[in-house]
Amino acid sequence: MNPAGIAVQFSVNGRPVSVSPTGSGNVNDTYLAIFRTTFSEERFILQRINQKVFADPSLIMANLKVITNHVHRRLEAEADDADRIWQLPRIIPAKSGEDYILDAKGDYWRAISLIASARAYDSIQSLEHAHEAGQVLGQFLRLISDIDPTRLHDTLGGFHVTPHYFEGLDAALATDAGRELARSTTEARSCLKFIEERRDWCSVLETAHANGELKLRPTHGDPKISNIMIDEDTGKGTSIIDLDTVKPGLIHYDFGDCLRSACNPAGEEEQDLEKVFFDTDLCQAIVKGYMQYAAEFMTDADRHYLYDSIRLITFELGLRFFADHLVGDIYFKTKYEGHNLYRARVQFKLCQSIETREPVIRRILDSCG
């Protein structure tokens, strides 16, 4: 069914004016729906959940409910003392009373409220923007830090467990087509070399988890810069969006992912690799903002692994893009031939830049922590 036909099945007043694609997500299909009544207008977000990625969308909705109910309650309780109006989207139920619509093709659709008068950016705009992004992530993780992680479903097995992505790579390399793609170009060969040189190190966080140093907690799973909403009037961060990947995990992957994405001023889709690097001034701004809220729940062991988390998640995303390239682009949506290979090269360039700047990054982490 078309998105407009789905949109009217949710509990929203008025009639549809438009339902058009929005955002830059790599997995789900996202639309902005505008409805009007005779006296007002309502805007909300409509999404078709990609079931090739999320096998059981009802579990995502269950997690979303736990998180949003909890955060809304805490935000209300703290509102009078807050320096801004913090927000988090809410689920808009279907008219049937369910949290989602299952269409005739078996696709799951859900609606969530729009964080209005705010916008997200695909790449970092300024030091102030970076500082705000850090605050938004720190605040979100603080607000969910008292949720028992066992209340959340593991909606995506192996997500952000870096060694797990080597299984995908190795399976791809075991096929003729995958091996051919990995060997056929200089670019692919150098990606594979980059990956192999880091194979032994990539278990660093999982080992710390296995030996009890790091614990599973509720996490966001995808706190990249394009998921952080900035108030258009004040320039302050107000909300984090895209809560599909909320699940029990290591908060390090969240911390690292925010820095990975926000400290590369060129953005993930930059076509000129020369422009891709890890900006340590932006890093300092984010870490300062993050710690304002996160200091409350961070342990010494958490702090010990922060540098690794930045390097690792960048490496992991490159590995995921590269492995998807080898299997014919089945996970991440692509716009051109070789898109995922190119995305992998961007992340590996960034990872290299992080490695080169390790001493500076560690100094920043020590002084802000």
Binding site for ligand GN1 (CB under 6 A): 25-27, 53, 222, 224, 242, 245, 268, 317
Q: Which of 86, 69, 218 minimizes the C-alpha distance to 139?
A: 86
Closer Cβ to ligand GN1, 288 or 311, answer by number: 311
Write down the H helix ranges in 80-213.
127-144, 162-173, 176-184, 186-196, 204-210
| Closer residue to ligand GN1, CB minimum distance, 240 or 368 | 240
Task: Output the residue with the shortest Cβ distance to ligand GN1.
Answer: 27
Binding mask 251-290 for Mg ion (x = CB under 5 A): ----------------------------------------
Q: Which of 242, 268, 302, 316 touches Mg ion (CB under 5 A)?
A: 242
Stretch that binds Mg ion, among 100-108, 202-210, 235-243, 256-264 (CB under 5 A): 235-243
All residues at 6 or more sequence positions from 58 whose CB lies less than 8 Å from its CB, including other chains: 99, 100, 108
Piece in contact with Mg ion (CB under 5 A), picked from 115-123, 200-208, 237-245, 291-299: 237-245
Nearer to ligand GN1, 53 or 310 (CB): 53
Decide if 286 contacts 310 (C-beta within 8 A): no
Q: How far is the CB of 242 from ligand GN1 (least distance, A)?
A: 5
Distances in Å between the alpha carbon of 24 and those of 46, 65, 205?
14, 24, 29
CB 122 within 8 A of CB 92: no
348: closest CA among 189, 127, 163, 184? 189
3-state percent breakdown (helix, strand, coil) of the chain, nearest 5: 50, 15, 35
Q: Which is nearer to ligand GN1, 12 or 61 (CB)?
A: 61
Asked if 29 and 48 touch (Cβ cutoff 8 Å), the reply is: yes
Residue 251: CB minimum distance to ligand GN1, A: 15
Q: Whose Cβ is closer to ligand GN1: residue 12's or residue 45's?
A: 45
End-to-end CA distance of the chain: 50
Q: Which of 222, 231, 268, 316 binds Mg ion (CB under 5 A)?
A: 222
Cβ proximity to ligand GN1: between 131 and 224 the closer is: 224
53 binds, among Mg ion, ligand GN1, none (CB under 5 to 8 A by kind): ligand GN1
Give the footprint of Mg ion on this chain (CB under 5 A): 222, 242
